[in-house]
Chains A and B, each alone.
Chain A
Amino acid sequence: MLYREAGDFKTSYVADNQTFPIKFDRYGYYFILGFAFLVMPFIINDYWANSIVVPFLIYTIAALGLNILIGYCGQLSLGTGAFMACGAYGSYKLMTAFPELNIIFVIIIAGFITAAVGVLFGLPSLRIKGFYLAVATLAAQFFLIWLFTRTAWFYNYSPTGMISAPTRDVFGVAVTGPRASAVSMYMICLCFLVVTAWLARNLTRGSLGRQWMAIRDMDIAAEIIGVNPLMAKLTAFAVSSFFVGISGALLFTVYLGAAEAGEAFGIDKSFLVLFMVIIGGLGSIFGAFAGAFFLIVGPVLLKLLLVNGLGWPTDLAAHLEIMIIGALILVFLIVEPHGIAALWRTIKEKLRLWPFPY
C-alpha cells in the first residue's frame, strides 16, 4: 500500500532513468535531504556534532568507498586505514604548500592522490584474489603508515611527528582549525557526503557498476562476456580509494584537527570501516549509511548506558563495547548475512501489502 512500484508510469526516458525511479524512495530522499540541509544546521550543537553527526557523515563516505570495492567489485581490502591516512597527509601537504588554495579543492585533490595510490596497490588484484588479496592490501596498510611516520617530509619535520590542520575558510566561514563551528563542520561534511553518495549511486547503476558486479559474481565469466578485468578492477580501486581519501582528508582537517598516522589511521580503522560495510550490507548504498550509523551511534549509546547510566568504570565499558560489537557482528552474520540493507528490503516487501495483507 505505502510502498509500491506498480502504477507509477513514466512517460519519458529521463523520468525512467532518474536516480530514484520509485515515488516512495524519491520523496523519502527529498525529505531526508530537506531535513539534513534545512533543519539540522539549526538544531545541531557541539556535543552532537562531535560525538555522532560529523563522524557519521565522514565514515559514511569511507564506507561508501569500501562498499564499491568489496560489495560491488568483490575485492577484499584491509587497507582502508592507510588510504584514509593518504587522504589526510595529502590534504595536509597541500594545505601547507598552497595556503591560498580553497579547502574544497584541497580535499578533492587529496582524493585524487589517494586514488592513484589505490590503483598502485590494486595492481596485485589482477593476479590474486580473495584472502590473498586481503593480505596484499595489508601490505599497503603497514607500509604506508610506516612511510608516513618515518618520513619527516610528510609531517613537515614537526618535532612531535603530528600533523595539524591550519584554519581554512569556505565563503568566509572557518571550516577547519579551532575556530570552526559545529554548523560549518557539519555543512562541509554533509555537502561532500551528498555529492559522493550521488556519485556512488549513479556509478553503481551505470555500465561501470555493472562491470564491477560482473567481476564480483564470476570474474572468468565476466571476462568471457567482454568485461575488461584490468579496467574494471582498477577503476573500482581508484573510485573506492578516491572516496576513502576524501573521507580521510575530512576526518583529519575537519574532525580531528591533528593526527598521527599510526594512531589515527591504524589497522583498527580498516576493520571499523569493513564492519560498517558488512553490517550495513555488501553491495548497497543504503547499507553504507546504515552500517556507519550503527557503528557510530552504537558505541556512544553503550557508553552512555554503561558509564553514565550504571556508573561502571570506563575501561570495563570499553571492553564490554568490544565484546558487544563482536557479538553483534556474529549475530548479524547468522541472522542476516546480507546486512541491514536486506532488513530494509524485507520491510519494503511488508510495506507493499501493509495494512491490507492477503
Chain B
Amino acid sequence: MPDTLLFAMEATLNGLTAGVMYALVALGFVLIFKASGIFNFAQGVMALFAALTLVGFQSGQIPFSHLINAMFGTRLHHFGWNMPTLLAIPATVLVMILLAVLVERFILKHLVNQEPIILFMATIGLAYFLEGVGDIMWGAEVKALDVGLPKGMSGAVDDVTFAWFGYGFYIDRLEIWAAGIAALLVAALTVFSQYTKQGRALRAVADDHQAALSVGISLRFIWVLTWSIAGIVALVAGIMWGSKSGVQFSLSLIALKALPVLILGGFTSIPGAIIGGLIIGVGEKLFDFFMSPIIGGATENWFAYMLALVFLLFRPQGLFGERIIERV
C-alpha cells in the first residue's frame, strides 16, 4: 500500500477523534439553542471555567486568593489539602448548576422576549464576565489537568495497524476515551430527553414556549435545567480539552471552533452536532495534509469556517436543521 494513502488514513482517524472533541463543545450549544433559542456564545468559556474550577478544587486552591491578597495584604494560596477527583467532579457540577441558577436569575429572566441578537450579545457579555471571574478566582496561569484518564500513544491501535499495513498509526488514547465518553453522553442525553418527565418538558419547551407554559411547565425551571446540562457538557468538554492541552485561556476559543460544526450540523440537531464535528475534524486534517505543502501550514485556523461558508450557500439550514420557513 502506498505511504501517502496510509498517512491519509492516519490523518482521517486523527480527524475523527479531533472531530469528537469539537462535537463535545457543539453539543452544549445545541442544547441551549433548542431549549431557549439562545445562541450561547459563552459555552467555550463555560468549559474553561469548569475546567479551572475542577483543577482548583483538586489542588485545594483558595478561590479569589489573588484578589484577597491584593486587597488585604495577606498571603493565602492553598488550603493545604488535595481533593480526590471523584469528589472534585461532583463539586464542580454543583458549581455549574449554581452558575445556571445565577444566569437564569440575573440575566435570562430580565431578557425574556428580547430579540435574539440582544440575547446573543448578552451571552458574549457573560463570556467576558466568566472569563474574568475564572481568572480572578483561580489565577490565569496554565494549569495541568489530570483526572486519571490515560494519555499517550495507544499501543493497541499501533500494534493492530502495524500488523495490517506494516505501519503503526499514532492515535492518542485520550481521544479514544473522549469518543467513548461523548457516545455515553449522547446516549444519556437521549435517554433523559425521551424517557423522563423533565426531559419531555424540555422537549415541549423547545417545541413551543407558549404552549408549554399553558400546560403548566415552568419555563424558568426548564431554563435552569438546560443551562445546568449545558454546564455539565461544558465540564466534560473542559476535562477532555484540559487533559489534552492544559487548562488555559485558549480553551475558551474552542467555542469559535464549534461554530462551523453547528452550521454544518444545524443548530437544533444533536446527531447533527456529532456528525458536523466529525466532518469538520476529518476535513480539516485531510485538507491540511494535502494542501499544506502547497499553500503553507496552519490551515486549521480557517478551513472549518470556509467549509461552513461554502456549505451555507447550498444548504442554509445545515445537514439536519429544521427547514427555514419565512413569512412576512
Chain A interfacial positions (CB closer than 8 Å to B): 76, 124, 127-128, 130-132, 135-136, 138-139, 141-143, 145-146, 150, 218, 220-221, 224, 267, 271, 274-275, 278, 310, 312-313, 315-316, 319-330, 333-334, 337
Is the beta-carbon distance between B256 and A138 smaller than 8 angstroms? Answer: yes
A-B contact pairs, 6 of them (CB 8 A): A139-B309, A142-B302, A310-B70, A324-B132, A330-B107, A333-B121
Binary per-residue interface labels of chain B (251-262) against chain A in the complex, 1 for a CB within 8 Å, 0 otherwise: 000001001101
**Could you tell me if B316 and A319 are in contact, using CB atoms closer than 8 angstroms?**
no
Chain A residue with Cβ nearest B267: A131
Beta-carbon nearest neighbor of B137 in chain A: A319
Q: Decide yes or no: A330 and B129 within 8 Å by CB, A124-B313, A139-B302 being known contacts.
A: yes
Other-chain residue from B131, B135, B305, B316 in contact with A139 (beta carbon distance below 8 A):
B305
Contacts A138-B256, A333-B118 given: A326-B126 contact, CB under 8 Å? yes
The answer, among B67, B125, B299, for a CB contact under 8 Å with A326, is: B125
A150 surroundings in chain B (CB, below 8 A) = 295-296, 298
Q: Are A132 and B316 in contact (CB under 8 A)?
A: yes
Given the known A-B contacts A325-B128, A333-B118, A334-B110, are A320 and B136 also in contact in the complex, defined by CB atoms under 8 Å? yes
Using CB atoms, name the residue of chain A closest to B313: A127
Residues of B within 8 A of A333 (CB): 111, 114, 118, 121-122, 125
Residue in B114, B117, B135, B328 whose CB lies within 8 Å of A221: B328
Q: How far is the CA of A336 from the CA of B276 in the complex (A)?
A: 37
Contact with A along B305-328 (1 / 0, CB 8 A): 110110011001000000000111
Verify B313–A271 contact, CB threshold 8 A.
no
Shortest Cβ distance from A282 into B: residue: B117
Q: Are A146 and B121 in contact (CB under 8 A)?
A: no
- Chain A positions within 8 Å of B71 at CB level: 312
Contact A136 B312 (CB under 8 A): yes
Closest chain A residue to B316 by CB distance? A128
- Minimum CB–CB distance from A168 to chain B (whole Å) comes to 32
Number of B residues with CB within 8 Å of any CB on chain A: 51
B263 contacts A146, C-beta separation under 8 Å: no
Task: Say whether B4 faces chain A, with CB atoms less than 8 Å apart.
Answer: no
CB of B70 within 8 A of CB of A312, answer yes
Q: Which of B271-325 touch A at CB < 8 Å?
A: 295-296, 298-299, 301-302, 305-306, 308-309, 312-313, 316
| 15 other A-B residue contacts (CB within 8 Å) besides A135-B312, A150-B296 | A124-B309, A127-B312, A132-B312, A135-B259, A136-B309, A139-B309, A143-B305, A146-B302, A220-B326, A271-B124, A310-B70, A316-B136, A333-B114, A333-B118, A337-B114
B140/A330 in contact, CB under 8 A: no
How close is A31's CB to chain B, nearest CB, in angstroms?
Answer: 33
- Which B residues are CB-close (under 8 A) to A131? 39, 116, 120, 267
Q: Is B133 an interface residue (CB 8 A)?
A: yes
- Taking CB atoms, residues of chain A closer than 8 Å to B173 are none
- The answer to the question of B130 belonging to the interface, with a C-beta cut-off of 8 Å to chain A, is yes
| CB proximity of B45 to chain A, nearest CB, Å | 10
Tell me the smallest distance from the CB of A120 to a CB of chain B, in Å: 11
CA distance A78 to B125 in the complex (A): 15
| Given contact pairs A127-B316, A337-B114, A135 touches B308 in the complex (Cβ within 8 A) | yes
- Known interface pairs A127-B312, A138-B256; A132-B263 also in contact (CB < 8 Å): yes
**Most chain B beta carbons < 10 A, residue from A128, A135, A315, A329:** A135
Contact yes or no, B128 A322, CB < 8 A = yes
Cβ contacts under 8 Å, B70 to chain A:
310, 312-313, 316
Q: Mark B82-116, 1 if CB is under 8 A from A, else 0.
A: 00000000000000000000000011001100101
Q: Among B120, B128, B298, find the residue whose CB has the most chain A CB atoms closer than 10 A.
A: B128
Q: Cβ of B66 < 8 Å from any Cβ of A?
A: yes
Q: A135-B260, A319-B140 are in contact. Are A337 and B316 (CB under 8 A)?
A: no
